[in-house]
Structure 1
Amino acid sequence: MVTVAERARLETPPGDWSARLWAFLRRHRVFVAALSLAFVLRVVTMLGYGPALWFNDSFEYVSGAVNPDRPSALRPNGYSFWLLLLRPFHSFGLVAFVQHLMGLSIAVLVYALLRRRFGLPGWGATLATVPVLFDAYQIQLEHLIMSDTMFMLLVVGIVTLVLWHRKMSWRLGAVIGLLLALTALTRSIGLPILALVGAYMLIKRTGWKPVTAMLTACAIPVVAYMGWFASAHGTFSMTSSDGAILYMRTALFADCRKMELDPRKDLEIALLCITDPPSERSFSGQNYLWWARGGQRFHAFGTGSTFTPQMNQAAGTFARRAIMSQPGDYLARVALDFFRAFRWDRPRFPDYATFQQYEFSFEDKVLPAWASYKGNTDTDARKYDPSLPTAEIRGRPSVVGTQVHDPWASFMQAYQRTVRMPGIAVGVLLLIGLAGVAVRWRKLGGPVLLPWLAAFGLILAPAATAEFDYRYLLPAVPLACLAAAISLRRGFARPTAGKASAPTTARAE
């Protein structure tokens, strides 16, 4: 009898970190290759557009970082706090670079969760990260001085933490609560995420200690911020713009004749009635909120009165009256904007100027000199980053916020015309996730439920409370990918003990 000796296993010495690193990279080589290529695309973006790109909302955030003594009436200051932390470096280029790292980190979280928690193969988990890694509009969003990338990372991080741990301690609940507070302070839509996560934890019976710790850890910073806001603006809230934004949502259909307003009792509300009949109004409600134009009433009392607590309350009351009086018109408008997210093409909306701010531009960006809290928007930007160049335009020095450099910029312009995540693909991902929730109905959707509801809610909420915007769609994409990937892990058949090994089923379901 001949015995064949087994080949001796070569154990990696504990101290050989280089061997461990190479083994790790080989094990995850598909994702590492995709991540590396995505990093190169972001480097090309930084070379082509220095130091960063700008959106109309960017200047409010920069003003909050330059003048941190007063909260913004329009939106929470969480992102301004982040800019304030980076202000000692005086570099918008660094801000953009960190945001690109945030975008890559989102992909790492999705990949790690699908591999370690749900046992997907490397190629499958990598496939779920492709939209975040390679969508040109995702890369462009990361390069904007905007809160969206930070918000996206926080939401994906929260979902990852909740799904990663089958048993949750009160300490983990507190960490999740702090992240939820940061999310709410970054964008006010983060508060509904708190309700969603809390409901999910109750459904999964994580226990009262983690839920209590989460709520407490979230409430302390949020309540403290609201107290600071009250000291500056007189109302205990996070903004004084929620009513105004809802007014924008109703501006296209609100008919004061159907609302049955009493001109004497409802004078403050009646003054907000739009004079143009609904059939002759603009295709975007933003025209009735941000700019003083013919037919609209929001700016009738002067630009300084637009986002005061009094105007916010009146606008909110007007909007709620319009919704209650015309529920069919409201639901039709919400449905129109919701399904606008799932188109194959990308039509210009809400207007040409806004649409172009999501495109890689062909020319340098000269910053506007709008009035800000303690100065002008262009001077605020230069206070933050003194290296921003100036140019003589129309007889006055102007600050150049973005310089376009070819051939890098031309490459990203061509890339954006070719590589993007069409809305219909997001819709398909949501349908796959919905099917995954449905087949797990006995377990109330299982682990698919949380990312699917978060993705669905992030698309529905702007349509219901504001108006569709292309950048509002992007935070939902990694969550929709997560839900679809978990659903497809073993197909749509309901998991049973006979179809999968017990440890895997227990781990993932």
Structure 2
Amino acid sequence: MTGLLRRHWLLCLLLVAGITLRVLVWLAYQPALLYIDSFRYLANVDALRPDHLNPLGYDLVLAPLLAIGGLAFTAAVQHVLGLAVAVALYALALRHNVPRWVAAIVAGIVLLDGYQLQIEQNIMSEIWFQALLVGMLWLLLGRGEPNWRRSAVAGLLLGAAMMTRTIGVTILVPVVLYLIVAGGAWRNRAGWHRIAVRGTACLLGFAVVVGSYAGYFRSVTGEWGLTGASSHVLYGRMATIAKCDQLPLDETLKRFCPSTPVEERKGVDYYTHFVYGDSDWPGALPPGRSKQQLADEFGMIVLRNQPVDLAVAVLKDFAKNFAPTKTTSPNDVPVDRWQFQLEYPDFDGAIDPAAFDKTALIHDGVRTSADEDLARFLRDYQLSVGYTPGPLLALAGLLGLAAAAGVGRARRSGLRSAALLTTGSGLIILLGSAAFEFSWRYQLPALVLLPLGGAIGLTALLGRRMPAPARRRVKLAAFPDDVDKAAMREFRERYGDSPLSQLVVVIAAYNEADGIGTVLRNMPTRCGELPVSVLVVVDGATDDTAKVAAENGALVCVAPRNRGQGAALRLGYHLAAAGGADYVVTTDADGQYDNAELPLLMRPLLDGRADFVTGSRRLGSEQADSRVRWLGVRVFAGLASILTWRRITDTSFGFRAMRAELACSVTLREPQYQSSELLLGVLARRARVVELPMSMRLRGNGKSKKGHSLVYGANYARVMTGTWLREYVLRRLRRHSVRH
């Protein structure tokens, strides 16, 4: 626990501050803050009518919370959810190799932003919408490239987010783009099959939620729809820009166009709620024509005839999100609606003042109140330092976009698709909101999207790569699985059935474009009388590993999905054997082994003295960069010696040579910790194994994908003992039972 606190001390400090602020907010305004929309939600909790202004997603959450503990309990739960969202963003940032202090800033924005604190105290849907978006991001980004199951659940969450706030539909665009580009799947034919499967799963998940809701809407209203707000929204925006004398409007539609000159008109909110919402407006209508139909028709006429005016108005509102300070522009929703007030807010009579106490008494048995001292502190905090400056969000958006575009080092980072999803979602939701109207409240979802996208973008631009997906406990399917079949089929289409020589050097490579060229250029072309073929198995890389390898003379097999070094090597063994190889050699793509020692490695095999030859750093020389790893080599060699009853000095040396049929005969199911599995499997088959003194250098390029030493060691031990149990105990027990 002490080590955990030490590593994440900055987050812990921010969490303490965030918790303290939330407690103060909860105590300052009791039982909760009620906004104009809050009364709409509360009025529909029991009836659950889908044709009201707001969708039902929040009401479905609100009903049980009110039943359990009322408004105060609901606000407390929302504050806890805000803390959880911040921690989830921090953890997701770390998953993408973001520096801890940058990840802490991402979380700190949600933890400390005064407008975020205020909306969590409100009986409003925002925090639930944010939580659903973060849950969707975790499903798509939290464990590497998404499969169809996680894509389907992400679609369900996105549908739920849309049913909480309809603006969520805009995020479907970056989600679909992400599912196309994630993992570089679009680069090959097999990848497009994967794209189709996960994309279809996501869209089906989304359609299940939205379709079910639309069906409920029809069962209640007799018409298809999702909310009663569509006509309000369209009319409100178009009424502010409509040039009435230039539009083809009949006499009835002219009544929908404001008589006030365009430059003197009020804002979108006024025409949406006060004009359209007036039950007496626009007066008697011709038979068969409803206000909703005519408002929609008017809005579409303005849209067709004034697209440039609409685009200019929307972009002006979009740009307001990035202003240095939060102020109220003419005709906008007042910013003070989202600011802490010294007294309990009543919105200048927009709601009957008696309704606040009445609602609080119904649900909590108390009247609404504000603690003036706490409120003053919170207001001073919010208006001085407790808000997120717009330029910071703009910078985050630019960093995310630059990384998504592959600028500089970001191109080979493996982080481009993650930057695209997070930044694209943040920007499109701001743009979609601006298409209706600007409100500082509508900026809040971007607080959980743009900073994360900017942090990932900065990480990519600095050259920090996406760590290899963790696959510690996931076994490989028996060879060949679907990925193996697709890769082998593409390899044969490119090179034919027998493109390899008797001696094949197999290299598994994942995002090694910077270093593999040097390794290949230093590879011997002959070993005695045998020509040497080099086969590079590219394990779902997101950089130019395959291109660099091909340019340096290697035959390249591209696995369409990253599965781990063990899977790539296993695929290479079988390709080599099927391509005519008698001998298989393995080496790494990072330059740690001296490939000039290949003749020495092969000599016992060619002399007929061995079936399997492995180098040993302990018998030779070693440049160690970790005392833990230096110790681990010796500990695991001792463990292997005890398990197999023969002296072994190095179980994880990657420069090895073996007969091709032997490599294909061993059961290999480990994606990452395959070296001990291969060695113990060979020994269990009573193959002749020889260790030779070899040299091992530090990595020539990049960063090790093995992860933390202690975690790697624990999993290495698990694989070694598991392989011994499978090959030495269970396999022999099965043989014994067959004989008898």
| Same fold per superposition (TM over 0.5) | yes
CA displacement, residues 80-119 of structure 1 (integer Å, 9 cap, x when unaligned): 111012122242111111111121112111110111x222
Match of 2:4 in 1: 24
Q: CA deviation at 1:297?
A: 9.7
Match of 1:470 in 2: 440
Matches of 1:181 and 1:71, distance apart in 2: 15
State the SS of the aligned residue for 1:91. helix
Highest RCO, 1 vs 2 (Cα 8 Å, sep ≥ 6): 1
Match of 1:213 in 2: 201
Matches of 2:380 and 2:371, distance apart in 1: 14
State the SS of the aligned residue for 2:702. coil
Matches of 1:497 and 1:321, distance apart in 2: 56
Q: CA deviation at 1:68?
A: 2.9
Of the three residues 365, 372, 393, the one matched with 1:387 is 365
TM superposition score normalised by structure 2: 0.57
Match of 1:262 in 2: 250
Instruction: Tell me whether 1:290 sits opposite 2:273 in the alignment.
Output: yes
State the SS of the aligned residue for 1:112. helix
- Identity, % of aligned pairs? 32
CA displacement, residues 400-422 of structure 1 (integer Å, 9 cap, x when unaligned): xx311143222111111212112
Matches of 1:169 and 1:92, distance apart in 2: 40
Of the three residues 432, 436, 450, the one matched with 2:421 is 450
Matches of 1:239 and 1:377, distance apart in 2: 25
Matches within 5 A, 1:231-380: 231-263=219-251, 267=252, 269-282=253-266, 284-292=267-275, 300-301=280-281, 310-349=290-329, 354-365=334-345
Matches of 1:258 and 1:352, distance apart in 2: 26
Residue 382 of structure 2 aligns to which amino acid in structure 1?
Answer: Q
Matches of 2:330 and 2:123, distance apart in 1: 20
Q: CA deviation at 1:471?
A: 0.9
Matches within 5 A, 1:175-190: 175-190=153-168
Matches within 5 A, 1:127-166: 127-166=105-144
Residue 273 of structure 2 aligns to which amino acid in structure 1?
Answer: W
Q: CA deviation at 1:279?
A: 2.5
State the SS of the aligned residue for 2:461. coil
Instruction: Tell me whether 1:92 sits opposite 2:71 in the alignment.
Output: yes
Contact 1:291 1:299 in 2 (8 A): no
Q: CA deviation at 1:242?
A: 1.5
Instruction: Tell me whether 1:107 sits opposite 2:309 in the alignment.
Output: no
> Mind listing any 5+ residue stretches in structure 1 that lack a counterpart?
1-20, 390-401
Contact 2:333 2:439 in 1 (8 A): no
CA displacement, residues 145-193 of structure 1 (integer Å, 9 cap, x when unaligned): 1111110111122112211122433332232122112101101112222
CA displacement, residues 465-502 of structure 1 (integer Å, 9 cap, x when unaligned): x1000011121122111111111115356976356326
Of the three residues 703, 713, 731, the one matched with 1:501 is 703
State the SS of the aligned residue for 1:189. helix
Residue 280 of structure 1 aligns to which amino acid in structure 2?
Answer: E
Contact 1:141 1:358 in 2 (8 A): yes
Instruction: Tell me whether 1:403 sits opposite 2:369 in the alignment.
Output: yes
Matches of 1:379 and 1:233, distance apart in 2: 33
Matches of 1:98 and 1:424, distance apart in 2: 31
Residue 148 of structure 2 aligns to which amino acid in structure 1?
Answer: W
Match of 1:491 in 2: 461
Contact 2:341 2:376 in 1 (8 A): no
CA displacement, residues 228-281 of structure 1 (integer Å, 9 cap, x when unaligned): 212333321101222320221122210122112233xxx3x3331111121321
Matches of 2:336 and 2:137, distance apart in 1: 32
Matches of 2:283 and 2:361, distance apart in 1: 25
Residue 413 of structure 1 aligns to which amino acid in structure 2?
Answer: R
Of the three residues 386, 390, 393, the one matched with 1:423 is 390
Residue 93 of structure 1 aligns to which amino acid in structure 2?
Answer: A
Of the three residues 401, 404, 408, the one matched with 1:434 is 401
Of the three residues 39, 56, 65, the one matched with 2:36 is 56
Q: CA RMSD in A?
A: 3.0
Deviates more, 1:493-502 or 1:152-161: 493-502
Q: Given the superposition, is the C-alpha separation of residues 101 and 135 from structure 1 closer, same or farther in structure 2, using an over 3 Å criterion? A: same
Matches of 1:156 and 1:414, distance apart in 2: 30
Q: Given the superposition, is the C-alpha separation of residues 32 and 258 from structure 1 closer, same or farther in structure 2, using an over 3 Å criterion? A: same
Structure number with greater Rg is 2
Contact 1:459 1:473 in 2 (8 A): yes
Q: CA deviation at 1:316?
A: 2.5
Of the three residues 355, 364, 380, the one matched with 1:414 is 380
Of the three residues 461, 466, 472, the one matched with 2:432 is 461
Q: Given the superposition, is the C-alpha separation of residues 166 and 444 from structure 1 closer, same or farther in structure 2, using an over 3 Å criterion? A: closer
Matches of 2:114 and 2:378, distance apart in 1: 8
CA displacement, residues 295-348 of structure 1 (integer Å, 9 cap, x when unaligned): x8975537999xxx9433332221221122112211221121111111112222
Contact 1:343 1:424 in 2 (8 A): yes
Match of 1:395 in 2: none
Contact 1:271 1:297 in 2 (8 A): no
Matches of 1:299 and 1:504, distance apart in 2: 67
Of the three residues 181, 187, 192, the one matched with 2:170 is 192
Match of 1:82 in 2: 61
Q: How many residues align?
A: 455
CA displacement, residues 1-53 of structure 1 (integer Å, 9 cap, x when unaligned): xxxxxxxxxxxxxxxxxxxx343333322211211111111111111111211
State the SS of the aligned residue for 1:236. coil
Q: Given the superposition, is the C-alpha separation of residues 113 and 90 from structure 1 closer, same or farther in structure 2, using an over 3 Å criterion? A: closer
Residue 219 of structure 1 aligns to which amino acid in structure 2?
Answer: A
TM superposition score normalised by structure 1: 0.82
Matches of 1:43 and 1:302, distance apart in 2: 48
> Mind listing any 5+ residue stretches in structure 2 that lack a counterpart?
186-193, 466-512, 516-700, 708-740
CA displacement, residues 383-414 of structure 1 (integer Å, 9 cap, x when unaligned): 7514132xxxxxxxxxxxx3111432221111
Q: CA deviation at 1:73?
A: 2.2
Matches of 1:207 and 1:38, distance apart in 2: 40
Match of 2:606 in 1: none
Matches of 2:25 and 2:283, distance apart in 1: 37
Q: CA deviation at 1:203?
A: 2.8
Contact 2:97 2:464 in 1 (8 A): no
Contact 1:448 1:483 in 2 (8 A): yes
Residue 223 of structure 2 aligns to which amino acid in structure 1?
Answer: T
